[in-house]
Amino acid sequence: TRRNLQRLRDVPSVTRDGIAVHLHANIELPAEVEGVLQAGAEGIGLVRSEFLYMNRESLPSEDEQAAVFSTLIEHMKGRPVTIRTLDLGGEKLGDALGIKPGANPALGLRAVRLSLTRPALLRTQFAAVLRAARRGPARILLPMVCTVEEVRAARAVLDAVVADFRAAGRPLPDPIPPLGVMIEVPAAALSADALAREADFFAIGTNDLTQYALAIDRTDEAVAHLYEPLHPAVLRLIHFATGAAQAAGIPVSVCGEMAGDPRLTPLLFGLGVRELSMASFAIPAVKQRVRRITQPAAERHAHRVLGQPDAARIGALIESFDAG
Ligand code: PEP
Ligand code: MG
């Protein structure tokens, strides 16, 4: 009910034994920001910046992007806003970029790979975020990272943009926004210990992580029935990446569809995740679930799940899990 949702918006997202689980919102279009605070989000964990490049023939300028990001950050009144750099290519094509899809677009020139081959594009996005970040806390997120070299290359571009601002006497935000990486390719998950030394935070993208771990095209109906985030391989990748982040002392969130499924909240919490980012509408139900978790029970549950051989048994354990 509406009353219930309103009550939930104002109660904290903490487990029964007092551990905070930060619930953030994902947005794809600026207009969605209206529902974010209403849902009780503590921040925006993922701004998909693709909309800026779609359905148009020219590239968005630094001014245009800075204005959009500033509006989002101001709207969030001091809560963090995580802006992901362009994630085009693959199933998302940008008209303004004139990308021709290869035979396997999901394995082609997309996301951070595309940004690094067109550094002017990345410089424009970084400059726009630096300008907007003077209005409130922002974080920068790189999609589809596979190697530490990509993180170093992107950071070099960010450092160069910061140096340009200084040289031109343009004001900078304090702090400079942290630079995080999406863990959404198995190679990134399995080298998360190395990536954690280069990145300021991780965001695990379970949609692509599932696609790439299982070799299932997210958009291909013929194999949709084989798309299974509860495959043991996917959960082990999440577990490894979360452990690497914890060992390195950097924050880690989950921002794929799994984050918004309340049945999976105890499992993700038990794997060590303390920040979830999801479509706003999912936040109240996930918060309700958080408030029934205890850490020992969730950790036992995660341990049991990780010992299962297949998604069917994992699904059965999840259905029968009772946080009490
Ligand atoms: C993901 O891959 O899980 C993710 C959050 O990114 P997108 O869905 O935008 O690819
Ligand atoms: Mg993704």
Q: Residues forming the annotated binding site for phosphoenolpyruvate?
A: 48, 84, 207-208, 218
Mutational test site, ligand 1, from 51, 183, 184, max ligand atoms within 8 Å of CB: 184
Q: Is the distance from the beta carbon of residue 89 to the nearest atom of ligand 1 less than 6 Å?
A: no
> DSSP secondary structure string, 244-313?
HHHHHT--EEE-SGGGG-GGGHHHHHHTT--EEEE-GGGHHHHHHHHTT--HHHHHHHHHHHHT-SSHHH
Give the ligand 1 atom nearest the CA of 184.
2
The gap from C-alpha 30 to its chain's centroid, in whole angstroms, comes to 17
Q: Is the distance from the beta carbon of residue 42 to the nearest atom of ligand 1 less than 6 Å?
A: no
Q: Is the distance from the beta carbon of residue 207 to the nearest atom of ligand 1 less than 6 Å?
A: yes
Eight-class DSSP state of 204: E
Write out pLDDT tens, residues 147-177: 999 999 999 999 999 999 999 999 999 999 9
| Ligand number, closest to the Cα atom of 203 | 1
Pair of tokens at residue 212: 């790439």
Give the ligand 1 atom nearest the CA of 46.
5
The residue ranges of the chain whose pLDDT is under 50 are: 323-324
H/E segment holding residue 22: strand 22-27
Query: What is the pLDDT, as a whole number, of residue 165?
Result: 98
Give the distance (Å) from ligand 2 centre to CA of residue 204: 9
